[in-house]
Amino acid sequence: MIAERTDASDAAAMPDPRPVDDPRPGFFKLRIVKGGPFVGAELRYGPARDPETGGIMSERSYQWETWIGGKMVADPSPDPVKAGVFRVWLSGTEILEAEYRYLIADREWCARHAPEKPEANPTRAVKVADLPPSHFLPE
């Protein structure tokens, strides 16, 4: 006998979708190009910071910042569209901060020590045929 699924079990299995028009700060992973490796991304929303000192500028409104691969992709702005938030919010997958930090550190390490790995250049699609055999060995 096969058990039938109920609406309650379907609802428990499916996570709540993110509201498309209401971005929230957090950590994400996404691919910059189709077939590329995952890259860490962060959405920040908070008080504006002085670009020279890094101190909080209390007289200004809260601003959005979008970071992809450890680099800010647009100028901070109170408008999430101008800050580039929706690229991450709509195409990224939410992750924990630890995974975000790993993705950033792994990309930086690969860029310095293993430039042949896909993580070293996330703007290029991964071609499995071009990967060295050592890439497939267990670490």
Q: List, for residues 112-126, the tens digit of each pLDDT value.
A: 998 888 888 888 888
Choose among 111, 129, 107: nearest CA to 31. 107
12: pLDDT strictly greater than 80: no
Whole-model pTM: value is 0.76
Neighbouring residues of 64: CB distance < 8 A, sequence distance ≥ 6? 23, 43, 44, 45, 76, 77, 78, 79, 80, 83, 85
Q: List, for residues 33-79, the tens digit of each pLDDT value.
A: 988 899 999 999 988 777 677 777 766 788 999 999 999 999 889 99
Residue with tokens 């809260």: 62
